[in-house]
Structure formats: structure tokens, C-alpha cells
Amino acid sequence: MVIGRLNILAAGVCLGIILAFSGPQGAAAQGAGITATTGEIQVAHWNGRRHNHWRTREEYRYERQLRRQRQLRRQQRALRQQRALRRQQLRQTYKQTRQAPPKWVPSEDSKDPVQIIVSLPEQRLTVYQGDKPLVTSRVSSGKVGYSTPSGVFSILGKKRHHRSNIYSGAPMPYMQRLTWSGIALHESNSVPNHPASHGCVRMPGGFAGQLFNFTQKGIHVVVANETVVPTEISHETLFQPAAPAVKPADPVETTEVVEGATDTETETAPEAKPVSMSEETVADTPKRSKSPVRILVTRRTGREQLIEIQELLEELAFDPGEADGYMGPATAKSIMRFQTTYSLPVNGLVSDAFITKLYQKSGRGVPANGHLYVRQDFNPVMDAPVFISGGERSLGAHLYTAMHFEDGATETRWLTVTLTKGSGINSHDKREKSAETGEDGTVPAASTANEALSRIEIPGDVRQRISEMLTPGSSLAITNDGISRETTPKGSDFVVLMQ
């Protein structure tokens, strides 16, 4: 009987519950999760342990925030592991490159000058002593948008520990500067044997240190758009060493007292005794500098021509002011005075008629169309006008290097390298290339190394002075494009750009 009553009670409770949730208000309360007593908002949450555990909305947001934080920490941990693995790989690569630098070929005690040639198409650097290759190594030049300039450079400075002042202090160990605008040879951990740098020439570890210790400041570095090697050349117009001129000693004037003469009567000896070369009274023979001489021959620009015009006007007493190559008011007034004097159109312009009349009146003949510059120890020494035959045909770009010769020698060997524009790895630099076209519309080929020498006429006194200055390792550069923007007034050699 008791059991029957319990069953009836349980059935009643169940029926009450069913009726409470079967109505409209009960269904709404069940769907929204609102309790009948407190009206508190609740959200079902699965915590992995209970199937029907209820959490408030604040608790659910807190749990979601914790999950996001744990996920972020896992991502950061994975990123740190990837970076550590990358650093380990770089260290292994760096050790491998330093442990296996390229082998150097013995130079057989050669005294010929050292020259570095970088081939952009091959991404290879080769060190030559004379015409003998000593070592070659892979390099990485500038990538697209940061092309390594091609041409003839010199090592302007060296620094074992250097940081870039352009790219946020990036390390550049064993830096050897080529230009003052930021191009250099230096060591890098990333030398993938294809263009990858921001303009410099990267070298692998180990080799960069060896090259740094081997080279000296001032040696030539040729960056070529093609594969080139130095070849021997012989030409009658190439400079040959000559002994520096000896300044004659001042004649020694002696007086001799004649017997019986008074104190005021003296007689000058008829001839001075010849003085031996070993005596200290004779001027010493000038010593030849050991630094190489850098010579550049190029077509004359407007500034060089205007400087000579100012000098000629000064000789003719027309007072053009300072011969600085700039058309200032004083120069313009001087030109107008000259035009008035010799019945030319008075406009103050440098016309062909004005130039012809000026050179005629000064006795100079035809104006020069080329110019020669000489530097030594990164400083200007002299310059002079020269004549270039063959019309407007390009001279090309050539570098001639004098080999070793002993003191007192009168002959030396020369090696040459010829460069071209716009080929190889830098072909993506779409620059305009000016060239004179022939009557048939074709562009004449540039002169070869021998033809360029034959087309240049250098005054005899200038040639003699350069021959007296010539030292082993001196070089002659010929270009059709004038002095480049990378050639500074002081502190650099001549830079021939081939972009």
C-alpha cells in the first residue's frame, strides 16, 4: 500500500513538471534559459566532464578568453622554436663556409699588381696577380631594384668591423669600400650565388677575411657585365717608364785673390770646376713615388671647354674672371667684349664662330675634343687637353694596367680589360644608351682597345711627364662618357661606370 502511494506521488510530480514546461511561458523560459525564481541568464557549457553543467555568461567569456590565451602561447612557442631552428641552420651554414674557403693558387713570387674582377652574370669574384688567377669565389651582387653598378673602381678604404649607415646598422664585416655612395665588398652569412644584396658584393665567410688581409688600399676592382679576363697588349702609344729629369746644379762661382792685389781687388775664376754627381752641391735626382698613377682619358665636356675659353680670354686681356668652368656675369661680359672687338654677333653665347675666332686669335689652332686627367694617392696631379680622332664614334671603355718593372727600366708590359654596357645581370636597368648613328641608321661599333689608343693624340710634354711619374700598377682608363658622378674631387680614383 505504501509502495502504491509513492508511485502515485512520483507520477503527480512528473505530471506537474510536464504541465509547467508545456505551456507558452514555460517553452519560452526553457528556450531562453531563464529560471522561474531568479530570472538569471544561463548558457549551456560543455566542460568535458559533465554533459549538463550550466555556466553563467560571464563564466563562459572568461573560459573563452583563457582558451585564446593558451592558443596564443602555443603559437608563440612554435614561432620561437622555428626561429631557433633557423638560427641553428644559419650557424651550421656559416661554420661550413668558414671551414671550407676557396683554395688560393701560389703566385710564384710574382710582383705584378693585384686586380679583382667580379663577373655579374656568373656571380663570381676572381683575384688576379698580373694575368694569373689566384683564387675565385662565389658572390651575391645587388638584386632587382638595387643593382650593383658595373665599371672600374678602386678600394678606397678598409674596415674589419663595419656597420651600414644606410640599412639600420647592418653588420658588414671585412668591408672594402668601392664608392662613397655605399657600394663595398664585405662578408655575409647569406651568399646564395645569385643577386640578393642591396647593391654591395657579398662574399662568404672565410674568404672575405682572406681577401681583406691580401688586398691593399687603391687596387682596382672591375665589376663587369660579362665574363672578362686581363690580356696582354702592346701599342706604341702606351706609356713607358722614364727616369725623372735631373735638375742641373747651379754653377759654383769662386773668387781667387791675385798676388799683390789690394783687399778690394779680386778676380773671378774663368771657369768653375766640374762638380762630381756624388757631391752634395748637386741637386739630388727626384725620387719616383711608389704609389700607382691613375690616368683617365675621356671626351671633353662643356665645363672643360669653358675653362679653356676663360683661360684664352684671360691671355687676350678680356678679363673673364676666375677660370672655373661656370658661365658667370664676368665671363659673359668678357665674351661680349671679344665679340664686339672682332665684329661677331654680340650675344654673349659660346657659338662655333666665337670658338673658331678665339682659337685663331690665340694661336691655338683647332680646339681639343678630349681631356686627360692624372691622379695619385686619390688626389689630382695634372690635367691637359688631348685630341681624339675618328669623329663621334665611341671610344668604348678600356682599362690598361702597367705590370711590375725594376728601377731604371725603360719598358713595361701592359694588360687590358674591355667593358661593355647594358649586358648581363644589369639588363633589367632600362637606361637610355646614347650612341651616334651612322648614315645607314646603324650604330658604329665602339673602338677596340688598340683602336682607342690609336685615336688619342697626347702632347709630347704631357707624355714625358707621365712617363717620369709612371710606377708599377699604374693604370690608364679610356671612356666616352666623361668623369662619372662617383668620382669625387678628392679622396677617390677615377670611377668608370658602365650602367
pLDDT truncated to tens, each residue of the chain (499 aa)? 555 666 666 666 666 666 555 554 444 444 444 444 444 444 444 444 444 456 688 888 888 999 999 999 999 999 999 999 988 887 776 665 555 678 888 777 788 999 999 999 999 999 999 999 999 999 999 999 999 999 999 999 999 999 888 777 788 999 999 999 989 999 998 888 789 998 999 999 889 999 999 999 999 999 999 999 999 999 999 999 998 766 555 554 444 443 443 343 333 333 433 333 333 333 444 566 789 999 999 998 888 888 889 989 999 999 998 888 888 999 999 999 999 999 999 988 888 889 888 988 888 878 888 999 999 999 999 999 999 999 889 999 999 999 999 988 999 999 999 999 864 444 433 333 444 455 555 567 889 999 999 999 999 999 999 999 999 999 999 999 888 889 988 889 999 998 7
Distance CA 56, CA 278 (A): 113
Distance CA 499, CA 497 (A): 6
pLDDT at site 261: 39
Domain segments of the chain as ranges: 114-227, 304-366
Q: Provide the grid cell at 275.
A: 762638380
Q: In which region does residue 332 sit, left (phi positive, over 0), alpha (psi from -120 to 50) or beta (all else)?
A: alpha
Residue type, 133: P
Give which of 414, 433, 412, 411 is closest to 422, Cα–Cα: 433
Q: Which residues share a beta bridge with 119? A: 124, 224
From the number of C-beta atoms within 10 Å of its C-beta (0-12, 13-18, 19+), residue 77 rates as exposed
Which DSSP category does 197 fall into?
A: B
Give which of 353, 302, 350, 354 is closest to 325, Cα–Cα: 302
Q: Which residues share a beta bridge with 138? A: 124
CATH of the structural domain 114-227, one choice from 2.40.50.140, 2.40.440.10, 1.10.10.10, 3.30.499.10: 2.40.440.10
Give which of 36, 221, 232, 21 is closest to 119, Cα–Cα: 221
Which DSSP category does 440 fall into?
A: T
Positive or negative torsion for Cα 285, 290, 294, 295: positive
Three-state DSSP at 490 gives coil
Q: Are residues 358 and 370 in contact, defined by beta-carbon separation less than 8 angstroms?
A: no
- DSSP alpha helix (H) spans, 363-429: none
pLDDT at site 308: 87
Distance CA 72, CA 66 (A): 10
Q: Provide the grid cell at 382.
A: 695634372
pLDDT at site 154: 96
Give which of 237, 220, 225 is closest to 130, Cα–Cα: 220
State phi, psi for 464 to the nearest 5 degrees.
-65, -40
pLDDT at site 442: 59
Residue type, 149: P
Distance CA 394, CA 407 (A): 37
Please, what's the b/e burial string for 254-281 (b: 16 or more CB within 10 A of its CB; e: otherwise)? eeeeeeeeeeeeeeeeeeeeeeeeeeee
Residue 363's Cβ-side half-sphere holds a number of Cα atoms within 13 Å equal to 2
CA distances from 71 to 45, 61, 65, 236 (A): 19, 15, 10, 80
Distance CA 116, CA 176 (A): 12
